[in-house]
Chain A
Amino acid sequence: MCGIVGLHLKKRSWDGRLGELLTPMLTALTLRGPDSAGIALYADDGPDGPLKYSLRAVTDLDWSGLASRLEAGLGEPVTVSRQVGRFATLMSRARAEEFLYRLHADASGVVMVGHGHAIEVFKDVGSPEEIVGRYGIGQAEGYQGIGHTRLATESAVTTEHSHPFTPAADLGLVHNGSFSNYASLRRRLQDAGVTFDTDNDSEVAARFVADRLRRGDDLGDALRMVLKEFDGFYTLLVSTAEQFAVVRDAFACKPLVVAETPDYVAVASEYHALATLPGVESATVFEPQPEELHVWSR
């Protein structure tokens, strides 16, 4: 069992409330996933803004020192925009490939959790309430967010194994369920040159979607291919800088409730996670049908 939540705001005037609205949605699903939690937030700095790198250090680290070393190597400013213990967000206008090369070469034991122009990713082991508190999610602003509460069934309980999985710029995926043919799909992707960080089944779906997007599919096409290729039980919530999508497998035994109003689209594994949203009493509330795909675009 796991819990998934997502909120896609349709009006810019709501952006200031993203974290405030998403936080109770996530903590409401603690019983579905008490071992770890994660959240990806999208804020609108636009494609011309700097790239944001959500990073995690394996030991205590002087983040400003790392930023200075990267800045010297890149010849471009690198700033620390957020820092909580072993997690930090660094921002830079340098090319992503060059930034990641320098980060790797620095060998300071830093792992990238996510990157992009819009996305910032926070994930950790512990209860959802501890995690949203630790990273100050309640104060966060933005236009879209997805979250996950994890009860591990297929692989270990570590920060790396927790969701969201973010294998490409601005792509985030959260999964409730378990895939049955992920080992063969992983081998196929590995044969095509895709590399993996963990043995987690949901990472295979995330890298599969990233691979389809890289080949030119839009998110809807990529998820139709997931329906075709992946066996098992799954409800997926997948987001990019521009799109927000949900899909359920043919068995439809992993739940999802959608509530849509003129102001937002909100999704959650269980209705009580939506019950605190303003205006939900007059929202259009529905459950996606088996093998049904819903995509919302900005």
Chain B
Amino acid sequence: MVTLSCRSTSTREINETLRQLPPGSEVVITDPMGTHNLAVGLMQPIIITIDGNAGYYIGGLCDGPSITVKGSVGWGVAENLMSGTVRVEGNASEAAAASAHGGRVFVNGDASSRAGISLKGGTLVVGGDVGHMSGFMAQAGTLLVGGDAGEALGDSLYEAVIYVGGKVRCLGADTRVKDLNDADVLGVKELVAASGFDGIDPQNVTKVASAKTLYNFDALKNQSY
């Protein structure tokens, strides 16, 4: 077990040390004190615990590690995640999992505005509420919200799908509520099991997807893209 303290080690030194750890290593980052850019750009499956509240872009650009934050995080947690998991035990500020291509991001508390903005295939599961403009322009992937969703949910959504356990304040442009099918229920059930957010009833979530009036790819119809 490696321990790194933000009091005595610079962010750059912490990230350089993390980058050199062999797969399977376990590391604890102590005294984060809201520090930005911890555990970013890591390409190997290592297990990282951040022991307290951290700042912006925690776990951003990662491809493989499993990161747990024992506190809350600032903007852009797991931004552009490629694979691996990031779990936030507290709340996440704006733009959680922005542009994530893969991997899973779990937020036990609330996430604020623009959660899952421009999601590109990753999965964001929020146990509590999400703020306004969540799922904005999300292209692919899944956003599951256990609590309520703020204004303009899924505005200008492409192919990503949103499920909300609580109330939706209002939908954004070009989104609509769709019927749940068996595949949706199975998918949500699996995410509930993985996240441990047992309060979410997979049979009883609101599914929000694109209404497809603002975008279409007629030229590519029946082709994969």
Are the CB atoms of B94 and A270 closer together than 8 Å? no
How many residues does chain B have at the interface if contact means C-beta atoms less than 8 Å apart? Answer: 17
Are the CB atoms of B74 and A252 closer together than 8 Å? no
Contacts of A295 in B (CB 8 A): none
Contacts known (A252-B94, A290-B132); A270 close to B34, Cβ less than 8 A: yes
Contacts known (A255-B94, A287-B112); A271 close to B55, Cβ less than 8 A: yes
The reply to whether the CB of A80 lies closer than 8 angstroms to some CB of chain B is: no
**Interface residues of A, dominant DSSP:** loop
Are the CB atoms of B132 and A270 closer together than 8 Å? no
- Chain B residue nearest to A28 (CB atoms) is B34
**Measured between C-beta atoms, what is the minimum distance from B106 to chain A in Å?**
20
**Measured between C-beta atoms, what is the minimum distance from A176 to chain B in Å?**
14
**Measured between C-beta atoms, what is the minimum distance from B191 to chain A in Å?**
26
Contacts known (A287-B112, A290-B113, A290-B132); A272 close to B94, Cβ less than 8 A: no
Are the CB atoms of B94 and A285 closer together than 8 Å? no
Complex CA–CA separation, A182 to B26 (angstroms): 53
**Measured between C-beta atoms, what is the minimum distance from B219 to chain A in Å?**
34
Contact with B along A108-127 (1 / 0, CB 8 A): 00000000000000000000
**Measured between C-beta atoms, what is the minimum distance from A256 to chain B in Å?**
10
Q: Which chain B residues in 137-164 approach chain A with CB under 8 Å? A: 150
Contacts of B56 in A (CB 8 A): 270
Are the CB atoms of B75 and A255 closer together than 8 Å? yes
A253, A257, A272, A276: which contacts B35 (Cβ < 8 A)? A272
Contact with B along A234-266 (1 / 0, CB 8 A): 000000000000000000110101000000000
Complex CA–CA separation, A289 to B158 (angstroms): 26
Contacts of B36 in A (CB 8 A): 270, 272
Q: Which chain B residues in 77-111 approach chain A with CB under 8 Å? A: 93-94
Contacts of A72 in B (CB 8 A): none
The reply to whether the CB of B60 lies closer than 8 angstroms to some CB of chain A is: no
The reply to whether the CB of B118 lies closer than 8 angstroms to some CB of chain A is: no
A275, A287, A290: which contacts B33 (Cβ < 8 A)? A275
Complex CA–CA separation, A285 to B56 (angstroms): 16
Contacts known (A272-B55, A275-B53); A255 close to B93, Cβ less than 8 A: yes
Are the CB atoms of B131 and A289 closer together than 8 Å? yes
Contacts of A271 in B (CB 8 A): 34, 53, 55, 72, 74
B74, B112, B131, B150: which contacts A270 (Cβ < 8 A)? B74
A/B interface sample: 28 pairs, CB < 8 A: A252-B94, A252-B113, A252-B131, A252-B132, A253-B94, A253-B113, A255-B75, A255-B93, A257-B93, A270-B36, A270-B56, A271-B53, A271-B55, A271-B74, A272-B34, A272-B35, A272-B36, A272-B55, A273-B34, A274-B34, A275-B34, A275-B53, A276-B33, A287-B93, A287-B112, A289-B131, A289-B132, A290-B113
By Cβ-Cβ distance, the 9 closest A-B pairs, closest first, are: A272-B34, A271-B34, A275-B33, A275-B34, A252-B113, A272-B55, A287-B112, A272-B33, A290-B132
Besides A270-B55, A270-B56, A290-B113, 14 other A-B contacts (C-beta < 8 A) = A252-B94, A252-B112, A252-B113, A252-B131, A270-B34, A271-B53, A271-B72, A271-B74, A272-B55, A273-B34, A275-B34, A275-B53, A289-B132, A290-B131
A interface residues with partner B (beta carbon < 8 Å): 252-253, 255, 257, 270-276, 285, 287, 289-290
